Amino acid sequence: MNTNGETIIDVRGLTKRFGDKTAVDDVDLTVAKGEIVGFLGPNGSGKTTTIRLICGLLRPDGGEGTCLGHDIVREAEAIKRQVGYMTQRFSLYEDLTIRENLEFVARLYALPNVRQSVDETVEGLGLKSRQHQLAGTLSGGWKQRLALAACIMHKPRLLLLDEPTAGVDPKARREFWDEIHHLAEDGLTVLVSTHYMDEAERCHRVVYIAYGTIVARGTAEEIIESSGLGTFVVAGSGAAAAARALNGMPGVEQVAAFGQDIHVVGSHGPSLAESVHAVAERYPIHVAPGETTLEDVFIRLMSEAQVNENGR
């Protein structure tokens, strides 16, 4: 993390309601310059809404804060000039060519030399030969690259990416993240929402939101550690039967298959160990302590949040 102390996003108590549903509830978020912050949470947890609040696309019902030093309610205009926002759904014009889309964006940001900027971007994308193709005919991966290129053309200071890699193949995803890290090295700040755990692990820091509330934040290691979860890996020919037996036993909170292995996760170490060893005596399996993953933690956070939500 090459932060030099400058705060790019600083919002407190952010709240947004749609009708009687609270989409974002009292969210505090701070992002420093040059950080890549992963924004995680289940569907409908308020990730998109929070991002839209930050870049002035939605008006908050409560809370305040600044983005790039500008007030998010009163100075949305100034924020928009310095932010690159990549929407979840492809929202460039499908009936415009790649080049026309980029020209449109370049003119909108009043770039001094439209033709040159577009030429550079097209070449950077490696789309020079296809620049006159309609954007709607591009594959998902290319659309995503085009959208990213379009939102960094005006050299923004902050990049807001809303599930940028949904539906994109692994190689394209890898390249996309390499690009994000390059940009961050040059001082660009990135807030990116995602469902992918491997992507979360590529972020400097992760924020986990559920039902509009932030329930965990920190580096991947910090989050795993603070969760207090322990994991056993169960392997062997009886693993599948053992998994069924383990479900619902004391201390066992999650049982999930990973290939031939079963991961058994629980937050209370002693009772988890007791249950696992009891089952191991009845089935042909062997048990070893395993690494708790970010995914294990998030699944737990998700079910906890669900319980809280339903209990309200």
Residue showing tokens 């407190």: 12
Residue 249 CA to residue 83 CA, distance in Å, equals 50
Catalog residues that contact another protein under the rule CB under 8 A.
Answer: 52, 55-59, 76-77, 80-81, 83, 85, 87, 89-96, 100, 103-110
Question: Which of 46, 26, 34, 47 has its CA nearest to residue 8?
Answer: 34
Q: How far, in Å, are 175, 177, 240, 263 from residue 165 at the CA level?
A: 11, 9, 33, 27
Residue 57: CB minimum distance to another protein, A: 5
Residue number with CB closer to another protein (77 or 186):
77
Q: Which residue's CB is nearer to another protein, number 191 or number 242?
A: 191
Backbone angles phi, psi at 11, to 5 degrees: -125, 145
If the CB atoms of residues 55 and 180 are measured against another protein, the closer one turns out to be: 55
Two tokens, residue 76: 């949305």
Q: Smaller CB distance to another protein: residue 161 or 272? A: 161
> What's the min distance (Å) between Cβ of 286 and another protein?
52
3-state secondary structure of 158: strand
Q: Are 103 and 118 in contact (CB under 8 A)?
A: yes
Residue 148 to residue 85: CA distance in whole angstroms: 9
CB of 23 to another protein, least distance (A): 12
Q: Under a CB-based contact definition with an 8 Å cutoff, are residues 184 and 15 in contact?
A: no
Q: Within 13 Å and on the Cβ side, how many CA atoms surround 217?
A: 11
Least spacing, CB of residue 162 vs another protein, in Å: 9
Taking the least distance from each CB to another protein, the nearer of 80 and 195 is: 80
Nearest distance from residue 192's CB to another protein, in Å? 16
Per DSSP, helices labelled H in the chain are 47-54, 76-82, 98-108, 114-125, 140-152, 170-185, 197-201, 220-227, 239-246, 269-282, 294-311
Q: Closest approach of Cβ 174 to another protein, in Å?
A: 26
Complex with another protein: residue 112 or 311, whichever CB lies closer:
112
CA torsion through residues 301, 306, 309, 312, sign: negative
Residue 101: what residue type?
Answer: N
If the CB atoms of residues 58 and 210 are measured against another protein, the closer one turns out to be: 58
Cβ proximity to another protein: between 61 and 261 the closer is 61
Report the nearest approach of another protein to the CB of residue 78 (Å): 8
State the minimum distance, in angstroms, from the CB of residue 218 to another protein: 29
